[in-house]
Amino acid sequence: MKKLSILLICGSGASSGFLAANIRKATVKRGLDISVVARSEAEVESYLQEIDCLMVGPHLKYLIPELEEKVAGMKIKVILMDKSYYSLLDGERALDHLMAELNIN
């Protein structure tokens, strides 16, 4: 499996930054080769050529159609993060969700 690159976005990048750090800790514990960074939603277009997956904060659900349009034709999976792990900054559960969406065992 090639190294996956994941971008988490929220309004300013602060909350997603904490969650990204917790996901990185979870990937290390599981021995996975996954890069996880967080940015504000305004920076998405700067990263589209570098990522395999875009995880979107639950409060930005309204942006999903626009983001899916931006990545049309690219091999980027857009995932809406669940409030249950996002609000707790639970990196383990976020990683579980990511792996399920990407069909990674």
Q: How many domains does the chain have?
A: 1
pLDDT digits (tens, 9 = 90+) for 71-84: 999 999 999 999 99
Whether residue 105 has pLDDT greater than 80 = no
- The model's pTM: 0.93
Query: Of residues 104 and 96, which shows the higher confidence score?
Result: 96
Up-side HSE of residue 42: CA atoms within 13 Å toward CB? 4
- Residue 1: the pLDDT is 57
pLDDT digits (tens, 9 = 90+) for 21-76: 999 999 999 999 999 999 999 999 999 999 999 999 999 999 999 999 999 999 99
Cβ-contact 78, 63 below 8 angstroms? no
Q: Distance between terminal CA atoms of the chain?
A: 11
- Residue 45: the pLDDT is 94
CATH number at residue 14: 3.40.50.2300
Q: In terms of residue numbers, what domain contains 56?
A: 4-101
Q: Which residues does residue 37 pair with via DSSP β-bridges, in sequence order?
A: 7
Q: Which residues does residue 80 pair with via DSSP β-bridges, in sequence order?
A: 56
